[in-house]
Amino acid sequence: MLQTTSLPPPGRVYSVMIDAGSTGTRAQVFAFRHLPGQKGLILDDSEVFKMKKSIAALGTGTVGSGGVFFKPLMEKLRKKIPGVRRRQRTPIALHATAGLRLIGEEQAETALEEARKALNISGFLFQEDWVSILEEQEEASHAWTTVNFLKGHFHGHKGITKRLGALDLGGASMQMVFERENGDEAVDTGEEDDDNLEGRNEAPENEDLAGDDAVSIEEADYTVSVFGDDYPLHSTSHLGLGLFDFTKKLYTLFDREGVLEEGNPCFRKGKVFANKELRFGVPGTEESRTVTMTGDGDFERCVASAEITIATFSKLRSKKSVLPKGKPFYAFAYFYDRTVRLGLPITPTKAQLIAKGRELCETPPDVRVERDFDQACAEFSYVYTLLKIFTDDFASKDVQIRFEQYIDGHMLGWALGAALDIVQPVMHKQLALEHEPLIAA
């Protein structure tokens, strides 16, 4: 009996990547096209299916088995990808980022094992090691692959001389990754190493707040392979310098200095924030507290406070933090949300950044704003401070940063790069279907 399911177009290759977030679960289906005579793929379409539940619940035993948990997603995936044989040759993987570890190692592993059991019987192509918590280096390299794949910088294009670097600001970590050329790692600014740079804020009296593990830095040189070609990368991952983890540290310093509730420079000037719940602390000592604050919004003071916080909790102000000259970078995730979504252009000038910062910090208290605007002054000041560091206080004119969240309608992040990683070795199995007889599904 012939299969009646509508067939995908010739050269179609699918890959499924599940992003196991701390607040929900997203399954992304990527539909690629393989052109005869080419070794690469072209992305034709992508679709996201979401659940509000996090797989963290699987670690507590409160939501039943992994099979029950993933059933709604699997039903949607089977409708999206036609044919039993095609699904059997379509790779499916699940990755979580470091935030999953916050529920505890034992519970996290229990959740991942339940996910493995569910994907193993899903009807898709699956391997046990395709379920994991991504290491920072993996997250960075997948993000780099995503950006450059969507810009067409692979596919055997010999004319590409400058592949893009990637800057990814998440809630818990920040990733910087670029292609090494002639053995370069980063730029030497000629300044002293570490954070004792002239004209920059320091906080030696706060060094005891940081602890040994306040910010984990993973710096690495390695090679990734995309469609058979090797690319040497350099990445630096800062676990603990994501947007939300940074604000916890900032508020911890304000609390110690006595300016959290009165004279806070990172909340709107003159605005009283009654019963505001804030998160404080560093990993291992975090707490939530409800406070009442009167803002004293001042962009310059808030930026100075951000610089002190960075100096206290990290080595980000070392000479290796300036981005390499002449290498264009795409900045996405919270880099995009806290710039372009606030009305800035994708390549803002220093003057435009300062004007936006002053606007956010000094918006009068009687002006109606969205609820999540409360922390906009603090969060934007952090992004601005990072840009100062990356560009050597905007002195390095050859550093090119562009804020983007989508390329041709496809979202930037690690998921597409990870989907490409698992589909490359097995895509020939899907392509072979075009030469096999049709049978009943």
Q: pLDDT tens digit string along 293-335?
A: 999 999 999 999 999 999 888 877 655 678 888 889 999 999 9
- Does residue 224 share a domain with residue 75? no
Q: How many domains does the chain have?
A: 2
- Does residue 207 share a domain with residue 73? no
Least confident of 195-204, 251-260, 302-311, 432-441: 195-204
- Does residue 44 share a domain with residue 116? yes
pLDDT beyond 80 at 255: yes
User: Contact at 8 Å (CB) between 194 and 262?
Assistant: no
Binning pLDDT at 50, 70 and 90, where does residue 218 land? confident
- Does residue 340 share a domain with residue 234? yes
173 annotated to bind ligand? yes
- Does residue 286 share a domain with residue 171? yes
- Does residue 239 share a domain with residue 358? yes
Q: Can you give the pLDDT at residue 425?
A: 94
Indicate which CATH number applies to the domain containing 295: 3.30.420.150
- Does residue 226 share a domain with residue 84? no
- Does residue 106 share a domain with residue 42? yes
- Does residue 330 share a domain with residue 200? yes
Tell me if residue 367 falls in helix, strand or coil.
coil
Q: Which domain holds residue 56?
A: 12-134+414-435
Tell me the per-residue pLDDT of 156-168, one tens digit each, with 9 for 90 and over.
Answer: 555 566 799 999 9
175 annotated to bind ligand? yes
Binning pLDDT at 50, 70 and 90, where does residue 184 land? low
- Does residue 187 share a domain with residue 77? no
Dist CA 256 CA 282 (whole Å): 14
- Does residue 427 share a domain with residue 318? no
Cβ neighbourhood burial of 217 (10 Å; 0-12, 13-18, 19+): middle
Binning pLDDT at 50, 70 and 90, where does residue 192 land? very low
Dist CA 150 CA 47 (whole Å): 15
Does residue 397 lie within any of the structural domains? yes
Does residue 151 lie within any of the structural domains? no
Instruction: Please compute the mean of the pLDDT values over residues 351-380 and round it to a whole number.
Output: 88
Instruction: Please compute the mean of the pLDDT values over residues 345-372 and round it to a whole number.
Output: 88
Does residue 257 lie within any of the structural domains? no
Model-level pTM? 0.87
174 annotated to bind ligand? yes
**Which of 302, 309, 401, 403 is closest to 360 using CA atoms?**
302
Average pLDDT value over all residues in the chain: 85
Does residue 259 lie within any of the structural domains? no
Binning pLDDT at 50, 70 and 90, where does residue 177 land? very high
Least confident of 200-204, 212-216, 270-274: 200-204
Binning pLDDT at 50, 70 and 90, where does residue 190 land? very low
Instruction: Please compute the mean of the pLDDT values over residues 40-64 and round it to a whole number.
Output: 88
Percent of residues, the chain, with pLDDT higher than 90:
55
Does residue 254 lie within any of the structural domains? no
Indicate which CATH number applies to the domain containing 60: 3.30.420.40
Does residue 3 lie within any of the structural domains? no
Tell me the per-residue pLDDT of 432-441, one tens digit each, with 9 for 90 and over.
Answer: 988 777 654 4
Catalytically active residues, by annotation: 139
User: Residues near 44 by Cβ (< 8 Å), separated by ≥ 6?
Assistant: 12, 31, 32, 33
pLDDT beyond 70 at 137: yes
Does residue 140 lie within any of the structural domains? no
User: Residues near 339 by Cβ (< 8 Å), separated by ≥ 6?
Assistant: 348, 353, 356, 380, 383, 403
Does residue 74 lie within any of the structural domains? yes
- Does residue 222 share a domain with residue 363? yes
Q: In 274-366, which residue ranges form alpha helices assigned H by DSSP?
A: 299-313, 334-337, 350-362
172 annotated to bind ligand? yes
330 versus 57: which is more confidently predicted? Answer: 330
pLDDT beyond 50 at 203: no
